[in-house]
Amino acid sequence: MNQYLTSIDNPIETVRYKGLTVKLLATGDGTEVIHHLLEEGARWSMQPQEGGTASESIFIVRGSMKVTIEGETKVVSPGDVLSAAPVQHGFIFSAQEQTEFIYISSQPVFQFFSSIVRENQELAVEVALKDGYTAEHCKRIMQMSMMIGEKMDLSPDDMCTLNYASYLHDVGKIKIPKSILLKEGPLSEEEWKEMKRHCTYGKELLEETDSPYMKASAQIVEQHHERYDGKGYPNGLQKEQISPLASIVSVVDAFDAMTTDRPYRKAMSLSEAIEELKRNKGTMFHPEVVKIFIDLIPEWGKMKQGV
């Protein structure tokens, strides 16, 4: 017999991740009922699975979320139900206030989700520990990249890919020896060569994962140090040869690095960093991305102060 009583306070299992609390309430015969709590500004995605045939529905209980369906941005609120059977394209939801919804799937997704989260978190934490950058840096890059992606009207699938790629852009640094990664003085030519390999290492790591979007993000991670004028690395790609998603990560990453204190130098002021972006527009950075980013800077400022 498979009867049991659970509740939001007493779920079968809970996973917490980036402003998102996910609780498994019921499971049996493949079907799962999962409660989600999103903090304001947090994002959640419903993604196609490889070979998946699940029928999936979400029922909004409280709050409101923005979602793009077939190119149209809508707001879902309590009482709304969104269903897909199966999910063919990713949906990205962003909570406009604290939001709760119930997610019902005809195939198990909870373990898949929790293993992706674990994988994602472990990778990001490992980089943070090694590189000296905090997880906050990864989170800021992700939030800002997603804001630019929204302004550029990226497809929901691209938004899902950008979500992973921006958070894990430096994941390849896991494979760089600490003696190089944390060296205080300037790097030798050989060491610099190894350091630059973090793009390729990151691509290889993400290609090995189970999530289709993490796999798709491999190419973006590989390209995040390419330059618009073709003088970047690892492949010296230029202009349209570079994915627009990689151009987004590159601008945001550079700006965050400029405006963050590092052990060996003080942070630039906001206006100095903006000048630096403008100076390198069209050479280092994609001009359109720089333009959109500069328009978003007031929001970026708020985020850095934790407002």
Site residues (CB under 5 A) for Fe ion?
A: 170
CA distance 205 to 93: 27
Cα R_g (the chain), whole angstroms? 20
Kindly list the distances between the CA atom of residue 24 and the CA atoms of 7, 15, 16, 36, in Å, as whole numbers in the listed order. Answer: 9, 9, 12, 9
CB nearer Fe ion, residue 56 or residue 256: 256
CA distance 94 to 179: 40
CB nearer Fe ion, residue 149 or residue 202: 202
CB nearer Fe ion, residue 21 or residue 200: 200
Nearest-approach distance from CB 244 to Fe ion, in angstroms: 18
Nearest-approach distance from CB 172 to Fe ion, in angstroms: 8
Nearest-approach distance from CB 165 to Fe ion, in angstroms: 11
Of 134, 120, 227, nearest to 167 by C-alpha is: 120
Nearest-approach distance from CB 224 to Fe ion, in angstroms: 6
User: Which residue number has the CB closest to Fe ion?
Assistant: 170
Nearest-approach distance from CB 197 to Fe ion, in angstroms: 11
The answer to whether the CB of 30 falls within 8 A of the CB of 11 is no
CA distance 248 to 166: 9
Structure tokens at 45: 């995605």
CB nearer Fe ion, residue 35 or residue 169: 169
CB nearer Fe ion, residue 157 or residue 170: 170
